[in-house]
Amino acid sequence: MSAIAKGISGKHRIAVIGSGWGGFRLIQGIDTRKFDVTVVSPRNHFVFTPLLASTAVGTLEFRCVTEPVKRTRVELYEAKCEGIDLVNRTLNCASTLDGFGPDKFSVPFDSLVITAGAVSNTFGIPGVKEHALFLKDVSDARKIRSKIMECFEHASQPNVSDDERAKLLHFAVVGGGPTGVEFMAELHDFITEDILKLYPSLKPFVSMTIYDVGKSILGSFDAKLGSYARERFMRKGISLRLGEAVSAVHQTHFTLSGGARIDYGLLVWSTGVGPVELIKEMTTGERAFAARDPTMGRLVTDEFCRVLGKDGVTPLTGVYALGDCATIKERALPCTAQVANQKGVWMYKALNRAVKDPSDIAPKFEDAGVTPFQYNHMGSLAYIGKWRAIVDMKDPTTPEAAGKAEPNPLQNALQFTPNTGVGAWLFWRSAYFTMSVSTKNKIQIPMFWILTWIFGRDISRIK
């Protein structure tokens, strides 16, 4: 059964798909005196992803990285957008709350902002979805934390052979990008600083490995920083197995393309992102109505974040997209929180300024003095364990990165930031503390950092 969600007033109606970095930043700043804002998202909160790995090992508590959407005083429907009807200007939604009767409804809009993010890419490798764990959401971090403790609890039981112990205590991460590396660094800290103090007899059986099809880890960073991280990992006993792809994953082991069988207790999959179902529907097949970026399957927008139609030239009226689900035509930007955050801020400022009255569904941004979106790279950061991080200030998206031009003024201002070691770690922590999205989190995050430092991480296994 389908129903139409209520419209509240005669204001211009903006529907926002998603409550992640792009969507949340947008709704934090949109002028609700001028707009009725309705968010459609399967989760009722925002997740501060850069610190998600810290929650998976108990350095931080889960609530430190979430912020309820309702606090921003917009309408929220906990639902998935399954389709967009551009003729009637409605979203077709399905509730994600189980067991509460009719679950289909539509949401009318004058303007639409799509910030649906991306899904973890499994490249169709058999068994990944069924057996590997991902790190995209708080529910994933919770599963990982429980699984780590399950492996140790199981391995400590008297009826388990040493051979079985070594299998259970092999912690594997597939993907040597920043997310996989940061998770492995946090896991190593957790195991060596907290768990092994309580399970000392299990130390000889523990192993940790990063697998990547590439020849190096942290390929998006300067090569010297990548080597620094690699050396530190090897010194700490984290193995790197590079240059081989995973070909299939099973419940307790996976295979590599060379045929090797690898047993594991925990397998975390972190090999980049691909388009969500909604974006695939919009860009592929007979009913496609939006342009598709051929490299990553994202929506293509112009420099005002307006989604381009199938011809790749004409913007769809009043339909915008930002964050991981979209890229600007001929100006590919990475799938990062930095990009999504900056686009979210740019978008609310542009809409607040350019939409003049409720029926204005095709605002003239240029006439309102809105300049195209410009990305300001603030540096790439990665935690590599034991109070150390790496910081790369080079902007990978501009000619400066290739040494063809002068660095921008922001980079000049930040060029004295230490790029490795403890100084870089302090920069990493202060950067994410500053970026956290609410006063509540700005209080909770340092509080939990201090509690962890004094009392260690929590090893309770809460299912």
Ligand X SMILES: Cc1cc2nc3c(=O)[nH]c(=O)nc-3n(C[C@H](O)[C@H](O)[C@H](O)COP(=O)(O)OP(=O)(O)OC[C@H]3O[C@@H](n4cnc5c(N)ncnc54)[C@H](O)[C@@H]3O)c2cc1C
Residues that bind ligand X (CB under 6 A): 17-23, 40-43, 49-50, 52-53, 80-81, 115-117, 135-136, 179, 276, 278, 323-325, 335-338, 340
Q: Answer for the pair 193, 185: CB distance below 8 angstroms, yes or no.
A: no
Select 202 or 278, whichever has its Cβ closest to ligand X: 278
Select 23 or 363, whichever has its Cβ closest to ligand X: 23
Select 202 or 340, whichever has its Cβ closest to ligand X: 340
Cα pseudo-dihedral 120, 124, 127, 132, rounded to 10: -20
Q: Nearest approach, Cβ of 70 to ligand X (angstroms)?
A: 14
Q: Nearest approach, Cβ of 40 to ligand X (angstroms)?
A: 5
Select 168 or 321, whichever has its Cβ closest to ligand X: 321
Please give the Cα distance from 133 to 452 (Å, whole number): 25
Q: Nearest approach, Cβ of 122 to ligand X (angstroms)?
A: 14
Q: Nearest approach, Cβ of 409 to ligand X (angstroms)?
A: 21
Using Cβ positions, the residue closest to ligand X within the complex turns out to be: 20
Q: Nearest approach, Cβ of 331 to ligand X (angstroms)?
A: 16
DSSP 218: -
Q: Nearest approach, Cβ of 356 to ligand X (angstroms)?
A: 27
Select 253 or 411, whichever has its Cβ closest to ligand X: 411
Please give the Cα distance from 118 to 433 (Å, whole number): 25
Select 27 or 116, whichever has its Cβ closest to ligand X: 116
DSSP 200: G
Task: Residue 49: name the closest of 327, 270, 278 by CA.
Answer: 270
Q: Nearest approach, Cβ of 2 to ligand X (angstroms)?
A: 16
Select 169 or 382, whichever has its Cβ closest to ligand X: 382
* Neighbouring-strand partners of residue 114: 17, 321
Between the alpha carbon of residue 358 and those of residues 13, 205, 286, 323, 354, the distances in Å are: 8, 65, 33, 26, 11
Q: Nearest approach, Cβ of 20 to ligand X (angstroms)?
A: 2
Select 340 or 393, whichever has its Cβ closest to ligand X: 340
Rg (CA), the chain: 23
Q: Answer for the pair 188, 384: CB distance below 8 angstroms, yes or no.
A: no
Select 116 or 155, whichever has its Cβ closest to ligand X: 116
Region for 293 from its dihedrals, namely left if φ exceeds 0, alpha if ψ lies in -120 to 50, beta otherwise: beta
Cα 300 to the center of its chain, rounded Å: 20
Q: Nearest approach, Cβ of 25 to ligand X (angstroms)?
A: 8
Select 65 or 249, whichever has its Cβ closest to ligand X: 65
AA identity, residue 352: N
Please give the Cα distance from 419 to 429 (Å, whole number): 13
Q: Answer for the pair 7, 13: CB distance below 8 angstroms, yes or no.
A: yes
Cα pseudo-dihedral 271, 269, 275, 328, rounded to 10: -40
- Strands (E) in 222-366, as ranges, are 238-242, 246-249, 253-256, 261-263, 266-269, 273-275, 299-301, 306-308, 315-321, 326-328
Q: Nearest approach, Cβ of 180 to ligand X (angstroms)?
A: 9
Please give the Cα distance from 331 to 321 (Å, whole number): 15
